[in-house]
Amino acid sequence: MAGIPALTAAGILMLTVSVACTTPPNPTSNSEEWVSLFNGRDIDAWKVKIAGYEPGINYANTFRVRDGLIVVDYAEYDEFGERFGVLVYPDPYSYYKLAVEYRFTGEQLPDGPEWAYRNSGVMIHSQSAESMLRDQDFPISIEVQLLGGNGQEERTTANLCTPGTNVVMEDNLETRHCINSVSQTYHGDGWVRIEIEVLGAGKITHRIDGITVLEYEQVQIGGGSVSGHDSSLVVDGQLLSGGYISLQSESHPVEFRSVELLNLRGCMNQKSPRYRSYFVISDPVAC
């Protein structure tokens, strides 16, 4: 009987060591913490900028919330009159994933540009609404162009357009204003979900249903396709490592069901409960 307690103690010691060696890391470290930039009720936190008006003036209630959706609506317009607009989220970001669900509805305003038929966009690396001048048409930014099909022809979405910017693709400076993705065409009024991965001044990736449809890097100021802006902000070749996110109005009604963001900047100290394995750039303050 004297040997039994000793054997039991050894067994307990072995069990303790085994448990200690196999205990998994913090289970939340791999959990992606997406946040919604749209609260489903209002856009009070966002800033509107429409060409021809000062920042903050939501001409003719262009941007509104209806049935839990962000809606770009022209019911109160007599004509479009080149009143291009953006709805800008108030906080800047640099390393993140952004997921947006959108669909086109209704009819384009008669005087809208032909190219703006079923056309909208998500602007990233953008200047703030407050820094845009009264008559400025588009923010200096990268536009992830959203296009809907006309029911017949092929028309890709999640394309790239570059108001006041250039990018690098395959080690070459790309100065074309718009570059098509390799996505399929989305006809009709169905919802489309796109995801944009942004790595500061590095690579930017457009995806649909998890499939990469376009990649580029080194977003920088340069080129044209923007007017009425503050020329002092234009420093050709200056890399843009971050900026604001906005949704666009270009004369065709569009709805946004969700706008969600996964911040890739955060605590990278594995001993901290705030560590997440998907962070790609360290923010010690977040620890």
Q: How is 92-136 classified by DSSP, letter by letter?
A: -BSEEEEEEEEEE-S---TTS-GGGTTEEEEEEEEPPGGGS-TT-
Task: Give the span between the Cα atoms of 260 and 67, in whole angstroms.
Answer: 18
| The pLDDT value given to residue 26 | 63
Q: Judging by DSSP bridges, how do beta strands 254-263 and 69-72 pair with one another?
A: antiparallel
Task: Give the span between the Cα atoms of 38 and 86, in whole angstroms.
Answer: 15
Q: What percent of the chain has pLDDT over 70?
A: 90
- 138 close to 164: Cβ distance less than 8 angstroms: yes
| The pLDDT value given to residue 169 | 97
pLDDT tens sequence across 168-193: 999 999 999 999 999 999 999 999 99
Q: Residue 116, by phi and psi: left (phi above 0), alpha (psi -120 to 50) or beta?
A: alpha
Q: Which domains does the chain have, with CATH numbers?
A: 40-266 (2.60.120.560)
Short-list 203, 202, 183, 179, CA closest to 194: 183
Short-list 108, 175, 109, CA closest to 147: 108
pLDDT tens sequence across 105-119: 999 999 999 999 999
pLDDT tens sequence across 241-254: 999 999 999 999 99
**pLDDT of 277 above 60:** yes
State the pLDDT confidence band at 25, using cuts at 50, 70 and 90: low
Average pLDDT rounded to a whole number, residues 227-234: 92
State the pLDDT confidence band at 2, using cuts at 50, 70 and 90: very low
- 143 close to 122: Cβ distance less than 8 angstroms: yes
Average pLDDT rounded to a whole number, residues 158-177: 96
| The pLDDT value given to residue 224 | 85
Short-list 30, 32, 43, 35, CA closest to 73: 43
| The pLDDT value given to residue 11 | 44
What rounded mean pLDDT belongs to the chain?
Answer: 91
State the pLDDT confidence band at 124, using cuts at 50, 70 and 90: very high
| The pLDDT value given to residue 27 | 58
**pLDDT of 201 above 60:** yes
**pLDDT of 18 above 90:** no
